[in-house]
Structure 1
């Protein structure tokens, strides 16, 4: 099997030889937004590196697995308030995914899996994946990395610790960043997320909600109104490279297993 994993590194002749109907292609995507004042804004970097880890592990199981160029801009949501952040409309993101699916499908590359690192991408992913299943029989799973990671953290670091570290600007992304690219983080800026934010006299209970009479009510707020540090509901100072390494290993195992056991066998209708 060729050593190159990233599609961008293949020559056109190598692409013709390697990107056959048996090949699995991973499509990484993320965002460019506030990840906490201590962390780099581009969480797409972690999604891209996770895709490579998954591909490497899948290759060890004999699967010809490649990684497509990462989509760095996330779908618009409450994080558009991030200074320097860049987001794109859901219509634009869906159109981009639609075009990627179309190009790959044209060349008979139909074993696809999305490696997603941003919640704001989920609506566009759902729309496009359903459309391509209906019109072409493609069945494309999407692994939302950080959603999966939240579920894995209690077993890796203990439920009590996970409760303290889990949240935007904390685990899983800060620990994963400390593992993948520690030189890009600013540990000196880490501090517990602020609490008690209010808007129009109501207590903010999340990036898009307020609390009223024991219920969470969705409201049109932006991330900066919930937290000035980008961190919410967690203590980033408790994150660690060790936790990041354990998370990366677990996420890679889950992703590669899904590729090996299902995607590589073909999931088409």
Structure 2
């Protein structure tokens, strides 16, 4: 098996030889938005590195796994208020994914898995994956990294600590960042997320919701109106490189297992 993992590093001849119908290709994607005033905006950096960890673990199991270039811009949502952030419309993101699927499918590369690091990408992923299943029989799973990580955190660090550290701008992404690229984070800016935000006399209960009579109601607000620090509902001071290392290992094991046991066998209709 060739040592190169990133598709961008393959020569065209190497691509012809190694990107065959047995190869698995991971498609990482994320966003460029406020991840907390202490963390780099590009969570796609972590998604890309996690895809590499999954690929390495899958290769250790004998599966020829490659990583496509990361999609760095996320689908538009309430985080467009992030200063310096770049997001793209749902239609544009669908178009990018659609074209990527089409190019790979043309060359007989049908064993695909998305490694996603942004919730705003989920609608586009769902639409495109369903379309390609219907028209070409592709069955492409998507591993939403941070959603999986939220479920894994209690077992790794304890339920009480996980409840306090988990949230936007906290775990899992801050701890994963401290593991992957500690020099890019600003420990001097880390502080608990603000509370008590309100808009038009209503208590903000999430990045797109207010609370009324005990119920969450969706409203057109932006992330900056919910939190001035980018962190929400969590205490980033509890995050650590140790937690990030444990999470990274667990996410890599889950992803590689999915690749080995299912994607590599061909999830086609």
| Alignment TM-score, normalising by the size of structure 2 | 1.00
Distance across 1 between alignment mates of 2:261 and 2:228: 43
Give the superposition deviation at 1:113. 0.1
2:170 equivalent in structure 1: 170
Give distance in 1, aligned partners of 2:219 and 2:145. Answer: 26
Deviation per residue, 1:94-153 (Å, 9 max, x gap)? 000000000000000000000000000000000000000000000000000000000000
Q: Distance in 2 between matches of 1:214 and 1:238?
A: 29
Alignment correspondent of 1:76: 76
Q: Which residue does the alignment assign to 1:131?
A: 131
The answer on 1:180 being equivalent to 2:180 is yes
Q: What's 1:200 paired with?
A: 200
How far did 1:257 drift?
0.1
Alignment of 1:9-158 (within 5 A): 9-158=9-158
The C-alpha deviation readout for 1:70-98, integer Å capped at 9, x for no partner, is: 00000000000000000000000000000
Query: Take 2:175 and 2:131, find their aligned partners in 1: how far apart are those partners?
Result: 35
Q: CA RMSD in A?
A: 0.2
Give the aligned partner of residue 249 of structure 1: 249
TM-superposed deviation, 1:18: 0.3
Secondary structure of the equivalent of 2:8? helix
- Deviations along 1:190-236, one digit per CA (max 9) or x if unpaired, are 00000000000000000000000000000000000000000000010
For residues 197-236 of structure 1, the aligned pairs below 5 Å read 197-236=197-236
Shift of 1:60: 0.2
Q: What CA distance in whole angstroms lies between the structure 2 residues aligned with 1:75 and 1:65?
A: 26
Aligned to 1:210, the other structure's residue is in SS state strand
Cα distance in 1 for residues equivalent to 2:6 and 2:162: 33
Deviation at 1:254, TM superposition (A): 0.2
Q: Using the TM superposition, give the Cα deviation of residue 50 of structure 1 relative to its aligned residue in structure 2, in angstroms.
A: 0.1
**Per-residue deviation, 1:181:** 0.1
Give the secondary-structure state (helix, strand or coil) at the position aligned to 1:40.
coil
CA distance in 1, matches of 2:51, 2:22: 18
Deviation at 1:9, TM superposition (A): 0.2
Q: How many residues align?
A: 269
Question: How big is the shift at 1:23?
Answer: 0.1
Q: Return the alpha-carbon distance in structure 2 between the equivalents of residues 64 and 214 of structure 1.
A: 51
